[in-house]
Copies of this chain bind each other. A is one copy, B any other.
Amino acid sequence: MDTSIEQSLITLTTNPPIHNSVGIDSRDVGTPDNWIPRHPEMIRLTGKHPFNAEAPLSLLMEQGFITPNSLHYVRNHGPVPKLKWETHRLTVDGLVSKPLTLSMDNIESLPYKEFPVTLCCAGNRRKEQNMIKQTKGFNWGAAATSCAIWKGVPLSHILKLAGVEDGTHNKPRYVCFAGCDKLPNGYYGTSIPLEWAMNDANDVILAYGMNGERLPPDHGYPLRALIPGCIGGRMVKWLSSITVSDKESDSYYHYYDNRVLPPEYDMERATKEKIWYNPDYIINKLNINSAITTPAHNEQISLSSFVSTKEYTIKGYAYTGGGHKVTRVEISLDGGKKWLLANLTQPELEHPAVLNRGINPIPRFWCWSFWSISVPLYSFIRCEEIAVRAWDASHNTQPQEPTWNVMGMMNNCHFRVKVNTVSQGKEFFLAFQHPTQPGNNPGGWMVKPEPLPLKTAMVTGLSTTNNKKYSINQVEKHNAEGDCWIIIDKKVYDCTKFLKVHPGGIDAILINAGKDVTDEFNAIHSNRARSKLTNFYIGDLSEIPQAKI
């Protein structure tokens, strides 16, 4: 066993943590997640359910290096499985000589590692891509990344217990993970190469602790895979089985999610050409990325303050994958002609959990870096935008322009904040604009004035009408699996027959049955999905809603 495994920093209880300040959100009432405390400020990106959420960017940054559990971004594909510590089991099978079934108490009794890791969704900054052209994915802002102290047993330790063949293999082997979240296309699952899991320098663990507490339900209670330097999509939550195989995971989500396709591929061509199975397009290690977090979106500086204040400190984060170091961050105030070197800090180097582990021969960087640079306030007067780019230890840097891809993933172009001049009464201000705001929140220089209604209007099917009118009250009665109506953009659809073939699953529609789901629908559906709606159109919503009984 690796001798660098540290002593526990905090004793854990066996119950999932309950935050006093974080209760059941009214938006979760009536959903399968109505038992999970959630922070009210988390921005929901896929309507009410499933819960996909990021913290407001400034609030996230205020937390510093470690993100509190309740503000850590969440990516759920469906309802959160209701699991118990006492009854949950992990099975380990496949190409191992001693298949195992482990209880959580078994797992907790094993040696462990505890250290900070920054998680990133492959879709971080996707809304910028959606502003170019709608992708298959929903609108992540720049806060689909967070950092926590994770505690768990090294995966290599579990695999050795199960009698996995050690050392170099002549044939490729994979560790396949599966979770308990049953989804429309089966359980969520994915895999990583066995060699990656067995190399202790990669720090792959099965985590049961997060920031000194049990995992919160949204983060995989009671057990998840934790693969530093890798996209969040491989870190299976509610982990129930591990299978060592000579093939990659056969889960639908291993192939049809977390891929970057060349820009010329839309969904139709991708599926026709089976490009999803091309190993070149899988995403594992994170690419180099950074964002400006100060100035915040809509932050203003009064021009009169220029007399008293001389400097402004621009701030942000940067990260990369594979354990590489972010070695350099630069900002430009003149459209990229000149780049100024920012101060760069790697708080993980100073973190007790990392210091306790001793010096690594080749240090791995699993966490985000923070950067800052003070510039004279007058630099902004003739500045149209602030751009940031980071560099990694291999001297790769971020591309200047985004490259659109149908999944909208791994967007890592220069992050640009526009500088405008605005007046309020007699006073003038510099006002900053980020490229987007998460979800359907308005604002951002990439966002066209009214994108969604415009887009809707462009799909000819939606302009059809049959002159039938339904009141809200009438629609509300059709709220069951055998009789399910919904309202989108003031049009009424009978989705009853569609429920079972809905790519997002029955529940995603059912929890909104009988309701206006315009926001939820627009957040995640393409124009192609939109055009399919016409098949279920039955009439229009009455212009003046009747009084509720």
- Chain A residues with CB under 8 Å of chain B are 2-4, 168-173, 193-196, 200-201, 260, 262-264, 280-281, 283-288, 321-322, 325, 327-328, 330, 336, 338-341, 358-362, 392-401, 403, 410, 412
- How distant is the Cα of A200 from the Cα of B200 in the complex, in angstroms? 15
Are B394 and A322 in contact (CB-based, < 8 A)? yes
From B284, B286, B400, A400 is in contact (CB under 8 Å) with B400
Asked if A287 and B400 make an inter-chain contact with CB atoms under 8 angstroms apart, the answer reads no
Specify which chain B residues have a CB less than 8 angstroms from the CB of A394 in the assembled complex.
284-287, 321-322
Least distance between A17 CB and chain B CB atoms (Å): 34
* Residue in B2, B325, B341, B400 whose CB lies within 8 Å of A168: B2
Which residues of the partner chain B approach A170 to less than 8 Å between Cβ atoms? 4, 358-359
Given A194-B361, A392-B396, 13 further pairs, Cβ under 8 A? A173-B361, A260-B395, A262-B330, A262-B339, A263-B338, A264-B340, A280-B393, A284-B394, A285-B394, A287-B394, A396-B396, A397-B403, A400-B401
Tell me how far the C-beta of A207 lies from the nearest C-beta in chain B, rounded to whole angstroms.
22
Q: Nearest 9 CB-CB pairs, A to B?
A: A280-B327, A195-B361, A170-B358, A285-B394, A396-B396, A395-B410, A287-B395, A400-B400, A262-B341
Q: List B contacts of A358 (CB < 8 A).
A: 170-171
Give min CB distance, A137 to chain B, whole Å.
Answer: 15
Q: Is the interface of A mostly helix, strand, loop or mixed?
A: loop
By a CB distance below 8 angstroms, the chain B residues around A341 are 262, 264
Provide the bound-state CA to CA distance between A370 and B170, in Å: 27
Give A194's nearest chain B residue, CB to CB. Answer: B361
Chain B CB within 10 Å — which of A336, A395, A400 has the most? A395
The one of B195, B322, B339 in contact with A403, judged by C-beta atoms closer than 8 angstroms, is B339
A280 CA to B390 CA in the complex, in Å? 12
In the complex, the count of this chain's copies comes to: 2
Say yes or no: B322 contacts A169, CB within 8 Å: no
Q: Which of B194, B262, B362, B410 contacts A195 (CB 8 A)?
A: B362
Q: Which chain B residue lies CB-closest to A265?
A: B341
A361's contact among B169, B338, B397, by CB below 8 Å, is which? B169
- Chain B residue at minimal CB-CB distance from A262: B341
Chain B residues near A285: list those with CB within 8 A: 393-394
User: A400 and B397: CB pair below 8 A?
Assistant: no
Cβ contacts under 8 Å, A281 to chain B: 327-328
The CA-CA distance from A281 to B393 in the complex, in Å, is: 8
Chain B's closest residue to A122 (CB) is B395
Report Cα–Cα, A360/B330, bound state, in Å: 38
- Measured between alpha carbons, how far is A415 from B454 in the docked complex, in Å? 39
Kindly report which residue of chain B lies nearest to residue A400, judged by CB atoms.
B400
Assess whether A328 is in contact with B361, with CB atoms less than 8 Å apart. Answer: no
Q: Are B193 and A362 in contact (CB under 8 A)?
A: yes
Q: Which residues of B contact A393 (CB under 8 A)?
A: 280, 284-285
Q: Name the residue of chain B whose CB is nearest to the CB of A229.
A: B394
Question: Are B361's CB and A172's CB within 8 A?
Answer: yes
29 A-B pairs within 8 Å (CB atoms) are namely A2-B168, A3-B168, A4-B168, A168-B200, A171-B358, A171-B359, A171-B361, A193-B362, A194-B361, A195-B201, A195-B361, A195-B362, A260-B395, A262-B328, A262-B330, A263-B339, A264-B339, A280-B325, A280-B328, A284-B394, A285-B393, A321-B394, A339-B403, A392-B396, A395-B410, A396-B396, A397-B403, A399-B399, A400-B400
Which of A284, A330, A403 has most B Cβ within 10 Å? Answer: A403
Task: Give the distance to chain B from A318, nearest Cβ to Cβ, in Å.
Answer: 13
With a CB–CB cut-off of 8 A, which chain B residues contact A4?
Answer: 168, 170
List the B side residues contacting A361 at CB < 8 Å: 168-169, 171-173, 193-195
